[in-house]
Amino acid sequence: MTSVEKIRKNRFIAPIFNSLESFFFGSDESVRRAPFIRDAIDLKRYMFFVIIATLPCTLAGIYLYGLRVLAVIGVSYIFGVGAEAVFAAVRRQDEIHEGAFVTCMLYALIMPPNVPLWVVAVGILFGTIFGKEVFGGTGKNIFNPAMTGRLFASLAFPDLMTKTWLLPVDGNLAGGFASWVSDAITTATPMTLFQRSGDIISNLQLFMGYFGGCIGETVKPLIIAGGLFLMITRVANWRIPLATIISLLFTATILHAIDQQAFAPPLFHLLGGGFLFAVMFMVSDPVTTPASRTGKWLCGILIGTLTVLIRTFTGYVEGIMFAVTIANMFTPLIDYIVLGIKYRVTPKGVI
């Protein structure tokens, strides 16, 4: 037995070896039954496109908050992919599944830039293990693992996650690329500022994202560009993001019309906080959202409405985390009801 064959048979090393081999050189499998030709897309390219779509946000995050962002991403990858590898070995999978690479990137981008690295590690471990692996791994998870990890970190370490925020690096053209971390600290994001004092920063400022916030969720043009890129390449479905945005604007408009002082205007809800980032990269996650087209619309409406309601009527300034997680729980029910109605039995037969 050659050393390569020995590695391939080793339960713990094989997933890592096979993953690296297939990552660098591709699959050598051929089709044994019809259809004898296959679409060129596979999960590696599919997931890789999500990472490409987040790259502008990542670069913007580094530019705004410093090179420490890379450390956050690195820790997220080490612990997230590590947990995935352990589970792949335990499950005797051939390879590490690609979903983990996207989860780690998205998780890092929704963390505050000054978060302690051990919190990053704990959060991604929780998200990967309890948000995905306990359900059976990529494709079988009920919750979005990145959002689950973020939710856990927010609830478990509220002081470390929400008390202080970094302001963008100021001074030179290279921005954060020339410094490790931004020195300027603020205690409020635009969302918390509105909740505390009712002050609203301008829509243009919100859109351009030059303020304190999570790593990847502040610069809106780049987020929109990333989201559109995913939709145009058909990696993400356009229905849920559109439904979420429409329902958010609709609910926020109604509330704002009722009381203009107490309730934030719709554009503030749209551009504020991590809503757009979550809509473009997490709400469009196909695994945790309904399979049916009508279900996708309903799920989007649920997320958009819940986001506004949570932001407005609870103590939490950011509602999208909870909205997405709650909508994830409703996904099987939504599909059950929608498909049940679509294929309902009538006296004339099935419609």
Partner 1 sequence: MDKLPVKQKKISFKGGYRFNKFPIIDTNLPCKTFEPEYVSIPLCTSDGQQLKPQVRQGHFVRKGDIIAKPSTPDINLTPVFASITGRIDNTVGAPAGSKATDTILIKKDASTVVPSAQNTLSPIRQECKIKQYLKYLPLLCGLPRIPSPAEVSHIFISAVNIQPIVVGINAWLHGNDQAARTALDFLRECCAQSHITISCHSKEIRSIEKFLSLNNCKDRCTLAVFPEKYPSDNRYFQIGILTGKPVSSIREPIDPGYLFLDMRSLILLGYALQNSAPPTDILVPVYCEDPDMRTIVKIPVGTSLEQLFSFLHIDVRGNRVIEGGLLTGKEIIDPTYILTRSTESLTVLPEKITRSFLWFLRPGRNLDSYTRCFASTLIPSEKKPTTGSQGSLRACINCGYCADVCPVGLYPNVLYNYATHDLLEEAIEKNIDRCVDCGLCTYVCPSKIPVASALYNAKQTIYTDCSHLIHNRSHCL
**Chain residues in the site for partner 1 (CB under 8 A):** 22-46, 48-49, 94-95, 97-99, 136-140, 232-235, 237, 286-287, 289, 291-293, 335, 339, 343, 345, 348-350
Hey, is 165 helix, strand or coil?
A: strand
Q: In the block, which residue shows the tokens 């779509």? A: 53
Strand partners, 165: 186
At closest approach, how far in Å is the CB of 338 from partner 1?
Answer: 10
**Residue 330 CB coordination number (10 Å):** 18
At closest approach, how far in Å is the CB of 328 from partner 1?
Answer: 12
Name the residue type at position 267: L
At closest approach, how far in Å is the CB of 135 from partner 1?
Answer: 11
At closest approach, how far in Å is the CB of 277 from partner 1?
Answer: 21
At closest approach, how far in Å is the CB of 236 from partner 1?
Answer: 9
**Nearer residue to partner 1 within complex by CB, 285 or 318:** 285
Query: In this structure, what is the dihedral angle of CA atoms 281, 113, 56, 303, given to the nearest 10 degrees?
Result: 20
**Nearer residue to partner 1 within complex by CB, 23 or 180:** 23
**Nearer residue to partner 1 within complex by CB, 2 or 344:** 344
What the block records as the tokens of 137 is 């791994």
**Nearer residue to partner 1 within complex by CB, 258 or 351:** 351
**Nearer residue to partner 1 within complex by CB, 139 or 158:** 139
Alpha helix (H) residue ranges in 144-202: 145-156, 158-162, 190-197
Hey, is 185 helix, strand or coil?
A: strand
**Nearer residue to partner 1 within complex by CB, 30 or 197:** 30
**Nearer residue to partner 1 within complex by CB, 121 or 339:** 339
At closest approach, how far in Å is the CB of 293 from partner 1?
Answer: 8
Rounded Cα gap, residues 231 and 85, in angstroms: 30
Instruction: Round to the nearest angstrom and report the end-to-end CA distance of the chain.
Output: 59
With a CB cutoff of 8 Å and minimum separation 6, the contacts of 89 are 11, 12, 14, 15
**Residue 135 CB coordination number (10 Å):** 15
Closest CA to 271 of 224, 195, 203, 214: 203
Rounded Cα gap, residues 289 and 278, in angstroms: 13
At closest approach, how far in Å is the CB of 235 from partner 1?
Answer: 7
